[in-house]
Amino acid sequence: MAIYTLDPLRDPRWPEFVERHPSASIFHTRAWLAPLRQTYGYEPIAYTTAPPRAELSNGLVFCRVDSWLTGRRLVSLPLSDHSEPLTDTEEELQYVLGFLERDLRRENWKYIELRPLRSSPGQSPAFHKSRAFYFHRMDLRPSLEVLFRGLHKNCTQRKIRRAEREVLTYEGGRSEALLRKFYQLLLLTCRRRQLPPQPLKWFRHLIDSAGDSLTIRVASKEGRPVASILTLSFKHSLVYKYGSSDARFNSLGGMHFLLWHAIQEAKRSGLHEFDLGRSDLQTPGLATFKDRWGATRSVLNYLRCSVSPAPSAGTGWTMAIAKQLCGRLPDNVLIAAGNMFYRHAG
């Protein structure tokens, strides 16, 4: 078998293949890949055994990250919680991984990273575990009544009812006004967590690219935004990607209010699952929060093939520096730091 490459943003076969493959997610789509290139300059590339003009039967999609600060690398995929290799057999997967392993030195990549959700290249010893996260998925097929009963009574059901008593107002859509409300809450959250915010242009590009599959939801109390989430949908799945809040009003249950709204809307749209994303092992509070929604927890392992025998620290040191600075910077400087940081941290 030969290995071929294609540009998933230009090759007309890619969107049809992603729509057809049962393991594809929103992160494989042009709706996600195009903003990665527009905002950060990451260059998407897919590897396949299908010759040019032949129907695609498999594909591993990556972004080429070329940074003078953190090195040249191939990542599947930057800023994405997971990216399943879209292969149907273990033989196909091993063949593509073998090619990539040889390509590592030819292309002078610092490392190649996979973020598989289900498959594991167990027969490819060159790929080692580099990072691990918790991953949560919620089955939306039961009725709303059954889903609500499955929520933690004290920590989740009670918060939803508190939000209803507080008469929080709900807005959903993709307008510039909603984006601004979301982004102001994101700045508060990033400062609290000592993280650089992704630039506003990233979200604008994502809205333009994803269209109706993206929804910003905002909860407000007496006209003041108190919580916001951003979700994406693809096929039968709703994906929770970003959440932010004003911590002074967390007791009102704004996040619970919005997530329950998202679940109800997903049910009305016929969606089958709610992808609640990854959580750091070092911050068990977020994983516990997701557990209390009745979601199934699993472990998500990222894998790397690198030139050096020891696992690469990757962008960990840049994140450590960012954490030292982000809690102290004014908003305009914090935003500028995010603009620079994510270009190198993919």
Last residue of a domain, one of 267, 283, 299: 299
Show the CA angle centred on residue 32, arms to residues 29 and 36, nearest 5°.
130
Q: pLDDT digit string (tens) for 150-205?
A: 999 999 999 999 999 999 999 999 999 999 999 999 999 999 998 999 999 999 99
Q: Is 325 a member of any domain?
A: no
Helix/strand/coil for 247:
helix
Edge-to-edge strand list for the sheet holding 111-114: 4-6, 43-48, 60-67, 71-76, 111-114, 296-306, 128-139, 273-280, 237-245, 224-234, 214-221, 169-173
Task: Indicate whether 63 and 144 sit together in one domain.
Answer: no
Handedness of CA 163, 168, 170, 171 (dihedral sign): negative
Whole-angstrom distance, CA of residue 200 vs CA of residue 207: 11
In a shared domain, residues 107 and 152: no
- Do 143 and 30 belong to one domain? no
**35-55 per-position pLDDT tens digit:** 999 999 999 999 999 999 999
Peptide bond before 100: cis, by omega within 30 degrees of 0? no
Average pLDDT, the chain: 93
State what percent of residues in the chain have pLDDT above 90.
82
Length of the chain: 346
Query: What's 288's domain CATH number?
Result: 3.40.630.30
For residue 131, what pLDDT is reported? 94
Question: Is 229 in contact with 260 (CB distance < 8 Å)?
Answer: no
The reported pLDDT for the residue numbered 121 is 66
Considering only CA atoms, which of 64, 81, 88 is closest in space to residue 28?
81
278 in the same domain as 154: yes
pLDDT at residue 321 in the model: 58
Examine the domain organization and report whether 239 and 192 are in the same domain: yes
| pLDDT level of residue 339 (50, 70, 90 thresholds) | confident
Per-residue pLDDT at 340: 84
Would 27 be classed as within a structural domain? yes
Kindly state the DSSP code that residue 4 receives in the 8-state scheme: E
Q: 8 in a domain, yes or no?
A: yes
Residue 107 forms part of a structural domain: yes
Q: Kindly state whether residues 155 and 115 are assigned to the same domain.
A: no
Query: Do 240 and 163 sit in the same domain of this protein?
Result: yes
How far is residue 190's CA from residue 325's CA, in Å, rounded to a whole number? 11
- Is residue 341 pLDDT above 60, yes or no? yes
Question: Domain for residue 312, yes or no?
Answer: no
Q: How far apart are CA 198 and CA 102, in angstroms?
A: 34
Domain assignment present for 323: no
Looking at the fold, whether 222 and 166 belong to one and the same domain comes out as yes
Structural domain that includes position 97: 4-126
- Say whether both 154 and 85 belong to one domain: no
Same domain, 159 and 212: yes
- Asked whether 119 and 85 are in contact (CB, 8 A), the reply is yes
Q: What is residue 332's predicted lDDT score, i.e. its pLDDT?
A: 84
Q: Are residues 118 and 142 in the same domain?
A: no
Question: Which of 126, 145, 176 finishes a domain?
Answer: 126
For 60, residues 6+ apart whose C-beta sits below 8 A from its C-beta are 46, 47, 48, 76, 85, 86, 87, 96, 100, 114
Residue-wise pLDDT tens digits, 309-329 = 654 444 555 555 556 666 667
pLDDT band at 290 (very low <50, low <70, confident <90, very high): very high
Distance from C-alpha of 196 to C-alpha of 333, rounded to nearest angstrom: 10
119 lies in some domain: yes
Residue 2: per-residue pLDDT: 94
| Rounded distance between C-alpha atoms, residue 249 and residue 244, angstroms | 12
pLDDT exceeds cutoff 90 at 74: yes
pLDDT over 60 (residue 237): yes
Domain membership of residue 225 (yes or no) is yes
Tell me how far apart the alpha carbons of residues 263 and 136 are, in angstroms, rounded to a whole number.
15
pLDDT tens for 214-223 read: 999 999 999 9
Element (H, E) at 5: strand 4-6
> Which of the residue ranges 6-20, 218-232, 266-280, 320-334 would you say has the lowest mean pLDDT?
320-334
| pLDDT (mean) for 320-339 | 73
Query: Is 141 found in the same domain as 122?
Result: no
pLDDT per position as a tens digit, 105-151:
899 999 999 999 986 765 678 899 999 999 999 999 999 999 999 99
* Of 68, 103, 126, the domain-final residue: 126
Distance CA 217, CA 226 (A): 11
Quick one: which H or E segment has residue 47? Answer: strand 43-48
Strand 71-76 with 111-114, pairing: parallel
- The structural domain count of the chain equals 2
